[in-house]
Structure 1
Amino acid sequence: MTNFLQAYSWVNMRFLFEGMWVTVQVAVISVILSFIIGSVLGVLRYVKIPVVSTIVGLIIDIIRNLPLLLIIFFTYFALPKINIHFSVMGSTIFALTIFESAMLAEIVRGGIVAVPKGQLEGGRSNGLSFYQTLMYILLPQAYKKMIPPIVSQFISLIKDTSLATIIMLPEMTYRAQIIYAQKPAQIIPMFLMLALLYFILNYALSKIANIFDRRMAV
């Protein structure tokens, strides 16, 4: 019982909360970038531009079938060999963005395909170009359908930030390891606190998404 109480001292908790802030920063930046890039890639796959769409599809399929940890390693350890240097946080954001963009691209493409073809035909019959129909009719409807899988992917992204502990990103998991490395008896309370903090982040995201989903449904 004493170890549990000592594990949750103000010093340890402040140390973990600082790591939580790093996790949030990395997740927010990666979410924004991957949403933008994933949307563009998903649209490129949908419109089937000769050669371009094929190349984009091949790149997406390759990335989606690679372990995220391998992409993190490649970004942090391999890219400097060709004079491309990132900080630890930069490497994490870059790797997460690349991986999540590929995942979101397929979600976006699938969401657009799920919109009834009559919507495209209706837009074209009203004088809109293909790309105007795509931007103003198809995508808004597709994004409504995509909210659940996109949120699920973003929740996975938040959890995946913990993989960056391997390159010593000072996020929650890495800081928890430092704490229980000094006092091994505190490993269980640290894992319990990590579970609670990750749950809070992901549960809050899911609730925000539910509110957003209901408002879009009106």
Structure 2
Amino acid sequence: MDKQKPGLSDAYAVQTPADSKRLYGDWASTYDQDFAARQGYLLPGLTAKAFAAAGGMGPVLDAGAGTGLCGQALQLLGVGPIDATDLSAAMLAEALRKDVYRDVIEADLLEGIPVPRNSYRGVVSSGTFTHGHLGPEVLPALLRVAAPDAWFALSVNARFYKKAGFAEAFDRLLRGQWIKGLTLPELCIYGPGASGAHKDDTALIALFQKV
């Protein structure tokens, strides 16, 4: 019997970084076709467009880059150079094949990103802040590698935003004058042809600048 292909329900069920590595190691080679194309996955492109429209520019860090769909969208918008970081070496290998990244960095965002402070003028993330994945605890690590006035465009699953405490985290960052200009447009994650229990899910795109 063939092994069942990974899917979104599996992604939402992961509990540890080791779970994520196993899942995305299995999913990497089929992710773009079996998931992104089939479900009309809009979020990477919408995140990239929001970043560019806000005035975001490179060098950009694509955090939780996966197979590179957001980086590919950024390149099409003329934004670069772009570096990618992800927990999964298998997903980064797929991202490299798209030939849009200057560099790829295998890293667990919970442990920080091994680059100098103030390395990037922009940070994007699409699909990383969702059920079973990372929460607002990694925001300080992303802010550390961003230069003053760097633009951020971070997609957060709308239900996870409330559950994980993002509102409180952003409020603390605003009150502490770490970030400024926060807006939260809400967008559909998938196209009209999507199917399954999560086909109508939405995401908030957290747009802001580092102070």
TM-score, normalized by the shorter chain, greater than 0.5: no
TM-score range, shorter chain: under 0.3
Instruction: Identify the structure with the greater helix proportion.
Output: 1
* Structure (1 or 2) with the greater strand fraction: 2
Q: What is the TM-score when the length of structure 2 is the normalising length?
A: 0.22
Which of the two has higher C-alpha Rg? Answer: 1
